[in-house]
Amino acid sequence: MTTACAMLALVTDAFGGRGGIAQYNRDLLGALAGAGAVCSITVLPRHAPDPVATPAGITQHPPRRDRVRYVVAALRAAFAKRADLIFCGHLYMAPLGALIARLTGAKLIVQMHGIEAWPPASHLQRTAVETADLVLCVSRFTRASVLGWAAIAPERLVVLPNTVGSEFAPGDRSALQAAWGLQDKRVLLTVGRMDPRERYKGHEQVIAAIPQLVAAGHDVVYLVVGEGDDLKCLEASAGQAGLADRVLFLGSVDKPRLIDIYRMADLFVMPSTGEGFGIAFLEAMASGTPALGLDVAGARDALADGELGTCVAETGLAGALARALNSPNGDGEVLARAVQARFGRQNFNRGACAAVARIFEPS
């Protein structure tokens, strides 16, 4: 297998970053460095709010929020270490990545996540993507969307889905519910940002469905994990509906606590219309908790077309929730194994290395 020697990663955030994109970038770069698919990786982030710890083989520059400084730093880094592989962790980076690839003769990888890649890209971004040697997409939907606006050989668009760590594993749901004082309750859970620009996550739809579930005899508590500017609005909405005691906003939580919350829930629900993939679905199911989402966009992939979780139509969410709560919970261990078999770290690492290796295959 031919490997790249030096990779320059242009990312919004990775090590020391928060959220799904930073997680994906860490997973990908870590997989490539860990397997020796590339000799060294230089990461150039725009943001890194948390303490930075990078694995062996990866060096991360300090974050540069200023665009001009970022571009200058990227050019200097590319020529200083003569990168032969440029990785753009976001569509926004693609024009800069394409420019550097052209100047240095390096190969170009562009990463596509979710909604940013769905509508037709700007002329500059599209042109950059069309020159890419590889376009990594987190889901089939994102891949299909990019193919809709980019004139590029379809074989260059490879789906490398999000992965989930082995720390997400089933636990003792009853004990956790008892510890939280939620025994005899039916616990619904959503994990995700509450951003006014990202109202597609579907918190409001779940809140709106709760009265119907209660009327049907389900003593429901809805846990909402995450932060964002829309939190206040959602709290007000729950209060106005008289559900303040049933909808609990937990804010941002650390990972051990998050894993416990996943394990405790009876049903993870996220009726989102805008998921590039929906890593929270994976985390929930890997923790042994059934998941329900819409049969829309990248959520289909995380729910494996309904084979792992439940995919429902946008209409009739309350009915689907009632049916899910009426069904006995399946074996969490079986579900967790099925999730790891498809989306586990081993598959992800193998997929990442294979995708990069094929760029260097003789044509």
Query: Tokens standing for 50?
Result: 């948390």
User: Does residue 301 belong to the site contacting another protein (CB under 8 A)?
Assistant: yes
User: Binding of another protein at residue 363 (CB under 8 A)?
Assistant: yes
- Shortest distance in whole angstroms from residue 347 CB to another protein: 4
* 18 or 140: CB nearest another protein: 140
Taking the complex as a whole, how short is the minimal distance between the CB of residue 116 and another protein, in angstroms? 18
Q: Tell whether residue 144 is a contact of another protein (CB under 8 A).
A: yes
For residues 284 and 265, is the Cβ–Cβ distance under 8 A?
yes
Match 């923790």 to its residue by tokens.
Answer: 287
Q: How far is the CB of 191 from another protein (least distance, A)?
A: 21
By the rule CB under 8 A, 307 interacts with another protein: yes
Residue number with CB closer to another protein (266 or 301): 301
Minimum CB separation from another protein for residue 251, in Å?
A: 32
Residues 324-343 that bind another protein (CB under 8 A): 341-343
Question: CA–CA separation, 94 vs 10, rounded Å?
Answer: 9
How far, in Å, CA of 69 to CA of 8, rounded?
16
Residue among 26, 107, 143, 186 that touches another protein (CB under 8 A): 143
Going from the C-alpha of 159 to that of each of 129, 303, 352, the distances in angstroms are: 15, 15, 10
The answer to the question of residue 354 lying near another protein (CB under 8 A) is yes
The minimum distance between CB 4 and another protein, in angstroms, equals 15
Half-sphere exposure at residue 62, Cβ-oriented, CA atoms within 13 angstroms: 3
The answer to the question of residue 140 lying near another protein (CB under 8 A) is yes
By CB under 8 A, the count of residues binding another protein is 32
Task: Answer for the pair 83, 106: CB distance below 8 angstroms, yes or no.
Answer: yes
Contacts made by residues 149-158, CB under 8 angstroms, sequence distance 24+: 149/119, 149/120, 149/121, 150/121, 150/126, 156/132, 158/134, 158/355
Q: Which two tokens stand for residue 144?
A: 């299909």
Nearer to another protein, 95 or 351 (CB): 351
Q: Which residue has the tokens 């289909």?
A: 300
- Tell me: does residue 315 bind another protein (CB under 8 A): no
Among 7, 157, 234, 269, binds another protein (CB under 8 A): 157
d(CA 229, CA 92): 24
Alpha-carbon distance of 189 to 169, in angstroms, equals: 16
CB atoms inside a 10 Å sphere around CB 108: 23
- Binding another protein by CB under 8 A: which of 36, 62, 148, 239? 148
Examine residue 350 and tell whether it contacts another protein (CB under 8 A). Answer: yes
Residue whose CB is less far from another protein, 161 or 170: 161
Minimum CB distance to another protein, residue 161 (Å): 5
Does residue 248 interact with another protein by CB under 8 A?
no
Identify the DSSP state of 216. T
Angle (CA) 270 265 258, round 5°: 85
Q: Which two tokens stand for residue 106?
A: 């390096």
Contact 208, 238 (CB under 8 A): no
Beta-bridge mates of residue 249: 224
> Binding another protein by CB under 8 A: which of 121, 159, 264, 279?
159
Instruction: Kindly state whether residue 153 participates in binding another protein, applying the rule CB under 8 A.
Output: yes
Q: Which stretch binds another protein (CB under 8 A): 23-31, 66-74, 155-163, 250-258?
A: 155-163
Q: Among 53, 56, 68, 151, which residue interacts with another protein (rule: CB under 8 A)?
A: 151
Confirm or reject binding of residue 131 to another protein (CB under 8 A).
no
| Stretch (H or E) spanning 85 | strand 85-88
Q: From the CB of 156, what's the least distance to another protein, in Å?
A: 7
Question: Binding another protein by CB under 8 A: which of 154, 217, 239, 251?
Answer: 154
The torsion of the CA quartet 26, 28, 31, 33, rounded to 10 degrees, works out to: -80
Q: What is the contact surface with another protein in residues (CB under 8 A)?
A: 137, 139-140, 143-144, 147-148, 151, 153-159, 161, 301, 304-305, 307, 341-343, 347, 350-351, 354-355, 357-358, 361, 363
